[in-house]
Structure 1
Amino acid sequence: MPSAWSGMNWIAGGAGAAVLLPLLAVGVGMPFWAAGLISVVAGGGVVALLAPRKMFEGLDNSGAARGKIEFARELLTGAEPLAIRLEVAVSTIQTKKVAERVRHLARTSREIFAGIEEDPLRVDRVRRFLTYYLPRAADLAEAYAVLEKSGNRDTTRLVSTSDLIDRLDTAFTHYATNLQEADLDNLDIELKLLKSSLDEDLGTSALPAPSDPSKRRA
């Protein structure tokens, strides 16, 4: 997922190469061309090591799943800046209770993102969250911070905005739970398949209880 650190790998790689070059050429006395080559290779290694992970890499994106994965990638790419806005808003809101609520919104958003990255085929369960509730939450959090700093403090609007943030928190929790229930649905399917296989191989009648070893010795 794109993040606020996107591009930092190139900065870190360049800085590492810039530091390593004089150390090798001057400090160690290595020929400049050799020091330059090693610095470039080392810097490239840092770039590769810190390169942002491509979303959903390693997943099978063939067939019908491909469109769903691309759709999930598009939604998460658009949602990432919104989560960052929530995280930034936390530090700008003066009212502790509201700031904590916004912090919980941001944390729940990250949990939902992680769930979709784990299984993008579940994205339909949180589509409305990503496209409607999350953008509105970012707008309201920033609006609350602006209202707090306004010279003409509008108490009515502050209370109304705070109430909506509370209700959004309930909605966020609902969608996070809805995503977790998808895992339980998958577990139910696995249990049914396992039971069906056992019934087919062993029969549906109860298995005899294992005998007591102490009675056999007697």
Structure 2
Amino acid sequence: MSEDRNWLIAGFLGAVTVPGLTFGAGLPFVVSAGIGVAVFAGLLFLLAPRRVFEGIDVSAIGRSRLDLARKVLGDALPQVDRLDQVAKEIRKPDVKARVARLAVVARGILAGVEQDANRLAAVQRFLTYYLPQAGEIAARYPVLEQMSRPDAALVTQTEGVIAKLEDAFGHYKDSLLDSDLADLDVELRLIETAIRDDMGKR
């Protein structure tokens, strides 16, 4: 759908460029038409959605791992958008805020994996299970709010699970960052030893 819209926008602007340049600027029709085609092609390029991991060095990670990460992130992004949309539909302020935070944390995790596809292993279960399940559960809450007499126990349970999901999302966010700190303790010990040895020589 977005690609069709991009073609329409680029086609419209490219088309109106031709008479504008021909009659407005007095350029020959052939020149105006050439510029119109260039405008059309340029807009298609600018409006084209950016691919995940675009421009990455494949040799640094491996094609199969990169393809897997691209597929997982491609499947996960609509789930994050869904959480954003559901948050807008929820009326209860604290539940609305929790679901909105789920979307923010999830988007941060996606960005972290896109920066380094090697991080995928740490959060793959989050992206393939917790994230879509969070969308399913959150989407039911506005339905409960629309009911005249919703089951109070079901409302409470749903709110409780959303709260637990917020904790789970935070856990996976930390797991993503933990992968960057894997060797920090070793590096700290080495630098401490080096400093102690060098200071002891004075």
Q: TM-score, normalised by structure 2?
A: 0.86
* Alignment-mate amino acid for residue 206 of structure 1: M
Aligned equivalent of 2:118, options 116, 121, 133: 121
How big is the shift at 1:83? 0.6
Q: What's the counterpart of residue 166 of structure 1?
A: 163
RMSD: 2.8
Unaligned runs of 5+ in 1: 210-218
Q: What's the counterpart of residue 150 of structure 2?
A: 153
What count of residue pairs does the alignment treat as equivalent? 202
How big is the shift at 1:50? 2.8
* Alignment-mate amino acid for residue 102 of structure 2: L
Q: What's the counterpart of residue 14 of structure 2?
A: 17
Unaligned runs of 5+ in 2: none
1-structure distance, mates of 2:197, 2:177:
32
1:1-218 superposed matches below 5 A: 8-62=5-59, 65-185=62-182, 187=184, 191=187, 195=191, 204-206=197-199
Identity of aligned residues (%): 37
How big is the shift at 1:208? 5.8
How big is the shift at 1:207? 6.9
Deviations 1:109-162 (A, max 9, x none): 100000000000010100110111001100011100111112442222111111
* Alignment-mate amino acid for residue 159 of structure 1: T
Bigger helix fraction: 2
Q: Cα–Cα, structure 1 residues 61 and 86, in superposed 2: closer, same or farther, change >3 Å?
A: same
Q: Cα–Cα, structure 1 residues 204 and 42, in superposed 2: closer, same or farther, change >3 Å?
A: same
Bigger radius of gyration, 1 or 2?
1
Q: What's the counterpart of residue 212 of structure 1?
A: none
How big is the shift at 1:62? 2.9
Q: Per the alignment, in what secondary structure is the counterpart of residue 206 of structure 1? A: helix
